[in-house]
Structure formats: structure tokens, C-alpha cells
Amino acid sequence: MNTGWSCRRSVWLAVACAALVAGALPAARVWAAVEPTEAEGEAFRAAVAHVAGAVVRIEPLGDVAAAKDAVAMGPSTGLVVDPSGLILATTFAVPETASTVIVVTPAGARTTARPLGRDAARGVVLLATDPLPDVPRLDVASRRNLRPGQWAIAVGRAWKATEPSMAIGVVSAVERAWGLAVQTDASVSPMNYGGPLVDIAGRVIGIVVPLPAETAGLTSGTELYDAGIGFAVPLEDILHELPRLRAGESTLPGLLGISYLSRDRINGAPVIASVRQGSPAARAGLRGGDRIVAVDGRPTRRIADVRHAIVPRHAGDALTIAVERSTAQGDVTMDVTATLAARLPPWRRAILGVVGAESSTEVEWVVPGGPADVAGVVAGDRIVGMAAPSQGVEATQPTSSSLAGTLAGCEPGDDVRLMLGRSGGDVEVEVTLAEMLRQVPDASVPVAAGDPLVGPLDAGRIARLEAAEIADPAVAVIPSGTAPAPLIIACGSPRGRVEEADAIAWKAVAAMSGVAVIVPGSSDPRQWSADDVPGVLRGIQALDAMRPVDPARIAVVGSGAGGGFAWLVAERLGPACRGVAVLDAPIPRQVTITDAEPGDARWILMGGSSAESVSRLAPDRMRLEAAGHAVGSLPMASELPRELLVRWATLLGVW
């Protein structure tokens, strides 16, 4: 009985087991097949297949072979947006100079295409080729429905004309670069620039573009390739402007021409500090002090809101700007219409001809013969009011930054009225603003008035600017005292590691004037290289930690090879560099000259050791002047005039 049951049980068990195993086998397979890793791969392929028929390869014409060590132009990708033969590609792959490119269709056929209109801000160009009747219709993913974290696949056809490539990632952010682009972590490279970024259903989110770092709000020069950060400009935005591009119209970023009172360019209140002369804002009647409350009906509470409203727009677009203005009758709100411009006239710096401390409105020194001197302003006066009729500004109790803002909006030749607080009683003077100084006046600014620590017997010291990770630190002349010091970065001949003795000549002239000097060394004793620039920047930080540096008075000087390096340092410093003085040093090719802006304008001194050298610098002088920078001359000599440069450095912050 017992045995029988046991036997029966064994048989039953064996049968049941076999049946279950047989039945479970396919189940196990199914389970393995839907394992997410494989299902994902299938979903990626399906998404790419959905759009692949509209993705073409773009080949440049003529030689643009890869430069030896650079990410250079080779084949790239494009997206057919209309079967009549309209293709979107990037301005990276189709530069202005290209009149024809080759398009390779998914079937492998080569044909030519010519560029129609371009959108410079988004970096896309529309190409026209023969009709492509077989391309699939594109489904557009609306930006409204995008969420960070969802799948994003960058499709390219540059690797192979007959099979699309894919890079897998997610949407990293929906509104980037002031609303111009969607951000993704999919690996973007020249191989998929111009291709679509699609969602997991194959709907097109946008066109993958190498957005200039500056547009993206990053430090200029940032290398974005292969960095986990990529951009796509939404297809719906481009389709919106397709008629314009098809008509061959090229669009440029639109500029308004205002600066803000707040230094916080994101969260600051959108209150206008100054309006650029001749700009769209000036023509629309905007003035310093106006608060922008809405752009095209969208409320603007922060500066970032205004930028979000303006950056995606093109030159030629009209904006309705609502501003709040204080008038004698109380606050009024008004709407003005401004038509954005592609280029603003270069800013011309207008000055009163006074020097003051950074955070006060007290006049420390008056430029002899300058507008303020002529009007009777004297050292020790305090500016307690300023009226600039050209700007519609009547300021009482101005701060140094509001004064600077008002002045930034004025042109040389404008009249302003100053109310001066003076010990003998307040006075009112009228000053006709002058152009920014070109030549350095002979008289020098008295050393940090009221700083008892500075005296001829204790005029500072020379120290090495030790900083972590810097192998051969620069040496510096550090003046005594505590007031923020003007700074000269003196780039001599390349000499490898610098010694403290190399700074002695500078100490003799700079320390007594309260000016700091950094003498950097080169990593290679025979030449300067761009790799030496970060060491200089670290030196400035190290110096600032020992003795505060006046941010409005930082200058770079150099002669010969050191002059070329000085230009590199100046470019890296950007707006922080307020002066460049060079001898026998034309502007290196890799240095770009940006238009002068309030807060980003330089006083430049150029000179040569021979008449021939001086005449060779003429084209550079013209470029700099055309960009709105003040350019003066150095006396013809083989060495930099240290005393003059020290005087110049103290005057860089002139109002």
C-alpha cells in the first residue's frame, strides 16, 4: 500500500515534471526575449527605422579633409523635411563659402544640393535638391510634451550612406540656450550633426546642432564634443520659419541694445541701466531706469525671462515691450515696439574725466584738461546727482554703478548736469562728455588717497604666487596697502621659470604707485604657448587672495613674443581685461576681436620699435577702433615704457 502509493507518486511526479519542464521551456525563452536589454535594442531600431528614410548624408565639396589633430569637416547628416527636395543641415557642415554640397540619399544615390536660407542663431541651413518623392512624412514631437529623462536617439548617416547610425541618450533639458535648444546626453559629433534627434516612437524632437558654447550660455571656447552634452534645435521652431528659409532669407540673432542695472544676469530685476546709442532700444524710445514688465505679452520678472523672450528671435523681428517708467506724474506703464537688429553700432565710451574709488561716487582725481576739469570739478567732490537729458535720466543720490550705467548710454558730446557735494556747499556744473582717452596723460593719479600704509619707504614687496598644481608659479610685485590695486600682467620674452629678480624693474616703478604686477614664466624657455595661460589666471587668483585686485583695472602688456602671449591672456580674461599694451606684437590669428560693450571695452596702446613695425600694426589699430575700443600709441622704443604703463593702469577705470 505504502509502496504502491510511493510508486504511483514517483510516476506521477516524473510525468508531471516532464510536462511542466516541456511547457516551461518556451516560457523561459519568452522571458529571456522580453528582457529589457533586448527589448530596448528593438525599440531603438524601430524608432530609427521610422525616420531613417528622411535622413541623408551630406558630403562637402572640395577639400575640407580632416586637419591632423582637429575635429574637422567630413561627411555629415541632413534631414529631408519636404519631398520637394528641401533638406535641413547644419551651418557647420555647409559653411557660407559652400555654394554646392553633395547629398547621398538612403538608396545611395548622389545628387547636388544648393543652400537656400540659413538661421545663424540655430546653426541650421536649408538645402534644395531634386524632388525626393519616397521620403516618409516626419512626425514632430512637440516640445510641450517633452520631459527630461525620456529617450532621445540621435540618428546620423555620415558613417555609412546606406545604413543610419544611432546614438542613444535621454532628453537632458527641454529649454536650453534661452529656449533655442533641447539638450541631450546622446553622443553628438560631426557624424550626426544635422540628423534628427528622435523620441522612442521615432518622432522628431529636433535637429542635432553644434550650438556655439556662447549661445549655450557656457564659457566661450568650451569643447562640447564628446562631453555628455549636446543640443538639438526643435524641429517645430524651424518648420515655423521654413517659408523664410525657403525664400533664401537668412536670419541672424536679433539684438536690442540694452544693459541692465543688476549684475545678476539671471535673477536680477530687468531694469535698464543704459540704452545703446542708435540701437533698436534707443529707436523704440527705451531709457535707462525703465523696468521691462513683459515682452510680447509674456511677463518678465527676471532678466532671464527677457533673454528667453529675445534670444530665440531674429534680427528684423518686431517685439512689443511693456515697460514701467517713473515720471514726475508717477509710475506709468507703456508699450513700445522695437525691431531687433543684427548688429549694434559699436559702443563708444563717453567719459567725464574723473577717477573714483570703485564703490563710491567721490572724485579722487580729475583728468587735467578733461571735461570735468573744464567744468570745474575738483578732487574731493562727491557726485550727489546727475541728469542726462539724452537718456531721460534724472538721478539723485546715484550709486557708482548707476552712474556708470547712465554714462554707458551717453555718447561723446552729450551734455550732462552734475550735482556736486562739496565742503563749501553743493554746486551744479554742466559737463560735455568726451571720447575715451587715447593717450596717457602726463600727470598721474595720487596713490590710494587716504591709505596710510603706503609710503615711499614701504612700497611693497616681490613674492612668488604659489598655487596648487602650478609647477612654475609667476612672481609678483605686491604693493603695500589694502585698497584694491590696479594690476599689470607683464609678459616678457619667454624665459622658462621666472625669478624674483625678473620683477625688480617693475617694482621700482609700480609699487610706489600702488600698482600690482604679475610676471609670468613660460613652460618652454624658447616660446610662449596657450598652455601657459591658465597659470597666469591662477596667478591672478593667488595675488587677489594676498592683496585685492581692482577688477576694473586689470591690464596685460608685452612686447614681441610676449606681446602675442599678452593678446592670448587678454582674450582668455575677456571682459575682465580692461587694457592691452603691446610693442611689436600684431594680434595673433586665433584671437578674435569682439565689439566693445559697456563693461567690456578696452583701452589699447600699441607701438613698435621701428617705423616699419609701427606701420605693420595699422590694420590691427583700425580693426580695434572699428570695434569701438580706444587705441592709443606707445612711443617708438625697443622696450615697454614701464612708468607710462603704470600711469595708464591707474587710469583704466576712468569715468
Partner 1 sequence: MRHVAVRFLVAVVVVVAAVGLHADGPATPRQVAASAARHVVKIYGAGGVRGLEAYQSGIILSPDGRIATVMSTVLDADDIECVLDDGRRFAATLVGVDPRRELAVLSIEATDLPACDVEAGRAGPGTRAMAISNLFGVAVGDERASVQRGVIAAVVPLEARRGAAEAPYAGDVYVLDFTTNNPGSPGGALVDARGRLLGMLGKELRSTASGIWLNYALPADELVAGCQEIVSGRVATTTGPTAAPFDLRALGLVLVPDLLGRTPPFVETVVPGSPAEQAGLRPDDLVVAVGARAVASRHALEMAVGSIVAGDPVRIAVIRDGRVVDCELGPRPEEARP
Q: Which residues bind partner 1 (CB under 8 A)?
A: 9, 13, 16-17, 20-21, 24-25, 27-29, 31-32, 35, 37-38, 40-42, 44-45, 48, 59-75, 100, 102, 104, 108, 110-112, 156, 158-168, 187, 189-191, 225-226
Separation between Cα atoms, residue 16 and residue 450, nearest integer Å: 102
Angle 630-572-516 from CA coordinates, rounded to 5°: 70
Read off the DSSP letter of residue 502: G
Q: Which grid coordinates belong to 60?
A: 562637402
Q: Which is nearer to partner 1, 29 or 301 (CB)?
A: 29
Q: Which is nearer to partner 1, 111 or 610 (CB)?
A: 111
Among 83, 95, 96, 193, residue whose Cα is nearest residue 128 = 83
Name 427's bridge partners: 420
Write down the least CB distance from residue 44 to partner 1, Å: 4
Residue 397 Ramachandran class (φ > 0 left, ψ -120 to 50 alpha, else beta): left
Write down the least CB distance from residue 53 to partner 1, Å: 15
- State the greatest distance between any 2 C-alpha atoms of the chain, in Å, as a whole number: 129
Q: Which is nearer to partner 1, 112 or 594 (CB)?
A: 112
Separation between Cα atoms, residue 95 and residue 13, nearest integer Å: 76
Write down the least CB distance from residue 129 to partner 1, Å: 10
Among 92, 102, 90, residue whose Cα is nearest residue 57 = 102
Q: Give alpha helix (H) positions in 479-525.
A: 504-510
Q: Which is nearer to partner 1, 74 or 316 (CB)?
A: 74
Q: Which is nearer to partner 1, 67 or 457 (CB)?
A: 67
Q: Which is nearer to partner 1, 162 or 333 (CB)?
A: 162
Long-range contacts of 574-579 (CB under 8 A, 24+ apart): 574/220, 574/600, 575/599, 575/600, 576/551, 577/602, 578/552, 578/553, 578/554, 578/602, 578/603, 578/652, 578/653, 579/553, 579/554, 579/555, 579/603, 579/604, 579/605, 579/648, 579/649, 579/652
Q: Which grid coordinates belong to 102?
A: 553633395
Write down the least CB distance from residue 166 to partner 1, Å: 5
Q: Which grid coordinates belong to 337?
A: 515696439
* Helix (H) / strand (E) containing 623: helix 618-626
Among 623, 535, 633, residue whose Cα is nearest residue 582 = 633
Q: Are strands 461-464 and 475-478 parallel, antiparallel or unpaired?
A: antiparallel
Write down the least CB distance from residue 229 to partner 1, Å: 14
Write down the least CB distance from residue 87 to partner 1, Å: 15
Write down the least CB distance from residue 36 to partner 1, Å: 9
Q: Which is nearer to partner 1, 42 or 134 (CB)?
A: 42
Question: To which residue does cell 613695425 refer?
Answer: 613
Write down the least CB distance from residue 609 to partner 1, Å: 34
Q: Which is nearer to partner 1, 70 or 468 (CB)?
A: 70
Among 259, 220, 253, residue whose Cα is nearest residue 574 = 220
Write down the least CB distance from residue 32 to partner 1, Å: 4
Q: Which is nearer to partner 1, 94 or 292 (CB)?
A: 94
Q: Which is nearer to partner 1, 167 or 310 (CB)?
A: 167
Q: Which is nearer to partner 1, 100 or 399 (CB)?
A: 100
Q: Sign of the CA dihedral 253, 259, 263, 265?
A: negative
Write down the least CB distance from residue 209 to partner 1, Å: 16
Write down the least CB distance from residue 538 to partner 1, Å: 24
Residues in the chain: 655
Q: Sign of the CA dihedral 149, 155, 158, 163?
A: positive
CA distance between the termini of the chain: 114
Backbone angles phi, psi at 376, to 5 degrees: 95, 15
Write down the least CB distance from residue 239 to partner 1, Å: 27
Contact 350, 601 (CB under 8 A): no
Among 570, 580, 492, residue whose Cα is nearest residue 537 = 570
Angle 381-386-389 from CA coordinates, rounded to 5°: 145
Contact 283, 258 (CB under 8 A): no
Write down the least CB distance from residue 167 to partner 1, Å: 5
Write down the least CB distance from residue 38 to partner 1, Å: 5
Burial class of residue 32 in the structure, from the number of CB atoms within 10 Å of its CB (0-12 exposed, 13-18 middle, 19+ buried): exposed
Q: Which is nearer to partner 1, 31 or 298 (CB)?
A: 31
Q: Which parts of 185-261 are beta strand (E)?
A: 196-198, 204-209, 230-234, 258-260
Separation between Cα atoms, residue 179 and residue 161, nearest integer Å: 32
Q: Which is nearer to partner 1, 76 or 559 (CB)?
A: 76
Write down the least CB distance from residue 355 to partner 1, Å: 51
Q: Which is nearer to partner 1, 5 or 396 (CB)?
A: 5
Write down the least CB distance from residue 42 to partner 1, Å: 8
Separation between Cα atoms, residue 597 and residue 627, nearest integer Å: 9
Q: Which grid coordinates belong to 432?
A: 560735455
Name 77's bridge partners: 57
Burial class of residue 536 in the structure, from the number of CB atoms within 10 Å of its CB (0-12 exposed, 13-18 middle, 19+ buried): buried
Q: Which is nearer to partner 1, 18 or 530 (CB)?
A: 18
Q: Which is nearer to partner 1, 158 or 209 (CB)?
A: 158
